[in-house]
Amino acid sequence: MNEESTTTIIGLPDVSTVPNTTMKNVQDIQHKCHTCDLQNDRSFCQLPEAELQRLERIKVTKACPKGSKLFIEGQPTKGVFMLCKGRVKLSTCSQSGRVMILGIAEPGDILGLSSALSSTEYEATAEVLEACQVNYIETSELLHFLKTNPEACLNAARQLGRSYQKAFRQICSLGLSDTAADKLGKLFLAWTGNGNGASGRIRIKNHFTHEEIAEMIGASRETVTRALKQFRESNLVTLKGSDLVIHDRQRLKAAIGGD
């Protein structure tokens, strides 16, 4: 267990204590979850009305400021966090202090689910990247809810399956890539999705520092900076501020040996 695992979770303000502007956002999120506005099966928002009402009784809505931690690697799992708005960074840390980003959670994700179902400690640290709202459910309440709701149980299984697939792709990318530049190129390609832009040119927003990008591919910040320079000189990728431009997606795939 690393040194950070003994740190307490940063206080998350309860709905009754947040400012009026934030309170309005929380109420909007509550309404969205209740009316299935997320339009996917990543959380429990697509459940029948009766089950949504049961969910309302066991969840607590919280507003989380940027930089706060929902939970920390190595802490006992007390509950799960259904992310309704915002983004959360999931990371792990070695005993020497080296950090690796495992992924960025998006609205609809249920954080801490695998730990809660397996009755183990949190396997990662969840840090809020931007102000967000979450629905918190204690482990005991979640387990009872899943045992008595087959559809919710299936949704939870689907999310675990997606988490497995994401981890599998990440392991393949890190383990089968020969160089840090290959890993970085694959990361950028993953950000583009299908990436069917005109003439293969894609422009996307980058929300991460060189240090954070390095933590995503298991490299140093200096290595990422050198790889970006290499991409820029080869007219493959240009990163300026928050603007990331892939000049030709197919050419980038070919350059890194992508399938």
CATH at residue 66: 2.60.120.10
Q: What's the pLDDT band for 82 if we cut at 50, 70, 90?
A: very high
Residue 156's domain spans which residues?
Answer: 3-173
Short-list 33, 208, 184, CA closest to 107: 33
Taking residues 16-27, report their average pLDDT. 41
pLDDT at 114: 95
Taking residues 169-173, report their average pLDDT. 79
Last residue of a domain, one of 173, 193, 220: 173
Q: Are residues 208 and 131 in the same domain?
A: no
Last residue of a domain, one of 113, 141, 173: 173
CB of 135 within 8 A of CB of 84? yes
Q: How far apart are CA 80 and CA 10, in angstroms?
A: 16
HSE at residue 146, side-chain half, CA atoms within 13 A, is 17
Q: Are residues 197 and 91 in the same domain?
A: no
CB-based contacts of 210: which residues, under 8 Å, 6+ apart? 221, 224, 225, 228
Instruction: Domain count for the chain, please give it.
Output: 2
pLDDT at 58: 95
- For tokens 């929380």, name the residue: 26
pLDDT at 194: 55
List strands edge to edge, sheet with 237-240.
202-205, 243-246, 237-240
Last residue of a domain, one of 143, 173, 203: 173
Tokens of 134: 């979450």
